[in-house]
């Protein structure tokens, strides 16, 4: 098997043009970044089609491209659950029910909504938890980009700087951080959003040839199925028991852990994606944003999961050899896409595929850093450190926070190296942060009696519950540490993903139960008037301003729902 990329002049030219274009967008937008709102919120002025593509592209970083391809090779068609049950219902719910609260309340972030609905301490806890989550997610994208650069340009570097060993991975990690830092400091959220739109089209153009050539080589869909075990080519059919599928999780774990807790927790409360919808120019555009993003989302498995399955089929045929994780005997599924590019992409098209990969990684970094700097500036710095300062002061803080976010992300990139599938790692983070948060949102938005004390202690209890469950369990074959088992070992799960789903279920259940219990034990502080626009029953129904009935969010939601049901039946 080919071990390094063979790049032609045209490949390098395509990559160079991309980097020049990315930095150019940041430079061109610099003159518009005159205040904190423009830098951190994009001025709430973007059209729905831009925010819709950015909404889905913010999720189309290393998580989607490297993580989903790795999961395709590791878990097969069950990975499609992350799209049809693990994304679409939550995106519809966000558009129809939750965006009116986010956008209508004029909150600048998800934690700020929590302050308006509950109290300051609830906002503070979520702000710190979210800040930690975003730098971990950004670090995963940095890790993926450095990993790719290692394969493209193996420099065999072995430097010693002030007693610190620096290899090629360390060097490429630093270079990728500097590039993202430049265009984020220059153009802020607007720069990140327009680069995400560019990245979406690059992914489609760069990966479509890989799927077409790979399927053609293996004999089409029937040839793919013939070279994979039966349990690798179904979604729901094999979830009757945990032993019957490669993910090691039964239907309840998929439906509750992924389809409800992790899915709704991510798409409905994660400020990284919600921030894109909040940058839209009107309430109608904000509500359409998740629905516009949902349409390409449903078809992305063809571009990112199928290559992983093809790689596994080729390995079973003896036509490909997937590399091992450095220093272990475990398959390094994170290298599936680079390996497939090396095998199939000719000169010119290879440069396009590599550029698409780099775009996805940089977009993932930038998206998380932009969410981090907004939450830190507004919800931590302005609230607890330096309130009542000038807008110019917060603009400077936002830029410096971007620098700090990138530096911390570099450190978290090294944690990501311990996993052979970045998707496993990211879902673990979501189980700790988003699962308990969704319980607070669910009760807070639909039950006006829910109190701030209850939401706060529910969040803490849910997070502690996640830590306890994770600390008492391990995936099969793993050692105690980052993957769990740091308290003791009471149960072994068949896979990291099965452990993540159940960690999320326990975290959500604990947070929900605590919030309910403490609500009955504490007095209600906020009046109906104070909660108007923040709780569903106290918020006037929205009159949509779409020109035609077929442009309304409700109609778009029906279309998206029907397509997702049809696709679920096809891949049952």
Give me the helix-helix angle, 349-375 and 120-152, nearest 10°.
160
Residue 97 pLDDT > 80, yes or no?
yes
Q: Could you tell me which residue, 112 or 39, shows the higher pLDDT? A: 112
What pLDDT is attached to residue 40?
45
Weakest mean pLDDT among 190-199, 391-400, 442-451, 534-543:
190-199
pLDDT band, very low/low/confident/very high, at 173 (cuts 50, 70, 90): confident
Residue 255 pLDDT > 80, yes or no?
yes
pLDDT in tens, 340-351: 887 887 777 777
Rounded Cα gap, residues 63 and 137, in angstroms: 8
Residue 380: DSSP 8-state: I
pLDDT in tens, 289-325: 888 888 888 988 888 899 989 988 888 888 787 776 6
Q: What is the mean pLDDT of residues 250-276?
A: 85
What pLDDT is attached to residue 455?
94
pLDDT band, very low/low/confident/very high, at 1 (cuts 50, 70, 90): very low
- For the chain, list the domains and their CATH numbers: 9-570 (1.20.1730.10)
What pLDDT is attached to residue 34?
54
Average pLDDT, the chain: 81
Half-sphere exposure (CA, 13 Å, Cβ side) for 333? 29
Rounded Cα gap, residues 352 and 202, in angstroms: 8
What pLDDT is attached to residue 516?
96
Helices (H), 60-119: 62, 68-75, 81-84, 88-93, 99-104, 110-117
Q: What is the mean pLDDT of residues 191-204?
A: 71
Q: Could you tell me which residue, 37 or 491, shows the higher pLDDT? A: 491
Residue 41 pLDDT > 50, yes or no?
no
**pTM, entire model:** 0.79
Q: Could you tell me which residue, 175 or 247, shows the higher pLDDT? A: 247
Collect all residues with Cβ–Cβ distance below 8 Å to 394 and sequence separation of at least 6. 36, 377, 378, 381, 382
Q: Could you tell me which residue, 71 or 539, shows the higher pLDDT? A: 71
Q: Which tokens in the block code for residue 62?
A: 């290393």
Q: What is the mean pLDDT of residues 409-426?
A: 74
């Amino acid at each position: 098997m080919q071990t390094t990329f063979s790049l032609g002049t045209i490949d390098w030219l395509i990559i160079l043009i991309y980097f020049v274009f990315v930095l150019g967008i940041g430079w061109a937008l610099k003159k518009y970044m005159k205040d904190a709102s423009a830098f951190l919120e994009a001025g709430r002025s973007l059209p729905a089609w831009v925010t819709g593509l950015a909404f889905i592209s913010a999720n189309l970083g290393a998580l989607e491209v490297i993580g989903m391809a790795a999961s395709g090779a590791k878990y097969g068609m069950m990975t499609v659950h992350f799209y049809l049950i693990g994304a679409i219902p939550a995106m519809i719910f966000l558009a129809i029910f939750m965006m009116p609260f986010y956008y209508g309340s004029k909150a600048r972030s998800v934690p700020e909504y929590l302050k308006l609905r509950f109290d300051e301490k609830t906002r503070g806890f979520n702000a710190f938890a979210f800040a930690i989550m975003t730098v971990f997610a950004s670090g995963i994208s940095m890790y993926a980009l450095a990993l790719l650069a290692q394969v493209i340009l193996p420099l065999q570097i072995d430097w010693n700087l002030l007693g610190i060993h620096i290899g090629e991975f360390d060097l490429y990690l630093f270079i990728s951080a500097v590039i993202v830092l430049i265009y984020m400091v220059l153009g802020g959220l607007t720069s990140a959003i327009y680069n995400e739109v560019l990245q979406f089209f690059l992914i489609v153009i760069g990966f479509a040839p890989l799927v077409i050539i790979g399927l053609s080589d293996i004999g089409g869909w029937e040839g793919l199925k013939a070279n994979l075990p039966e349990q690798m080519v179904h979604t729901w059919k094999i979830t009757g028991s945990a032993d019957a599928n490669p993910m090691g999780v039964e239907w309840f774990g998929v439906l509750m852990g992924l389809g409800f807790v992790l899915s709704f927790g991510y798409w409905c409360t994660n400020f990284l994606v919600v921030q894109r919808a909040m940058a839209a120019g009107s309430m109608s555009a904000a509500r359409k944003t998740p629905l516009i993003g949902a349409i390409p989302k449903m078809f992305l498995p063809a571009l990112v999961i199928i290559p992983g399955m093809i790689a596994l089929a080729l390995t079973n045929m003896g036509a490909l050899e997937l590399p091992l994780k450095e220093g272990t005997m475990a398959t390094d599924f994170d290298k599936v896409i680079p390996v497939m590019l090396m095998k199939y992409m000719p000169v010119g098209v290879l440069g396009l595929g590599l550029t698409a990969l780099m775009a996805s990684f940089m977009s993932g970094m930038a998206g998380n850093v932009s969410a981090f700097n907004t939450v830190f500036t507004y919800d931590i710095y302005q609230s607890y450190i330096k309130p009542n300062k000038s807008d110019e002061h917060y603009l400077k803080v936002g830029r410096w926070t971007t620098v700090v976010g990138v530096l911390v992300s570099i450190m978290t990139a090294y944690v990501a190296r311990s996993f052979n599938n970045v998707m496993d790692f990211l879902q673990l983070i979501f189980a700790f942060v988003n699962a308990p948060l969704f319980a607070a949102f669910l009760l807070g938005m639909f039950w006006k009696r829910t109190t701030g004390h209850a939401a706060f202690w529910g969040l803490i209890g849910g997070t502690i519950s996640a830590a306890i469950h994770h600390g008492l369990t391990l995936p099969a074959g793993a050692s105690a540490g980052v993957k769990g088992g740091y308290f003791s070992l009471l149960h072994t799960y068949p896979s990291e993903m099965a452990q993540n789903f159940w960690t999320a279920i326990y975290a959500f259940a604990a947070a929900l139960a605590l919030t309910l219990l403490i609500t009955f034990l504490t007095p209600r502080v906020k009046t109906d008037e104070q909660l108007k626009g923040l709780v569903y029953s106290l918020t006037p129904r929205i009159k949509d301003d779409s020109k035609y009935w077929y442009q309304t969010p409700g109609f778009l939601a029906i279309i998206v729902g029907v397509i997702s049901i049809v696709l679920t039946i096809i891949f049952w």
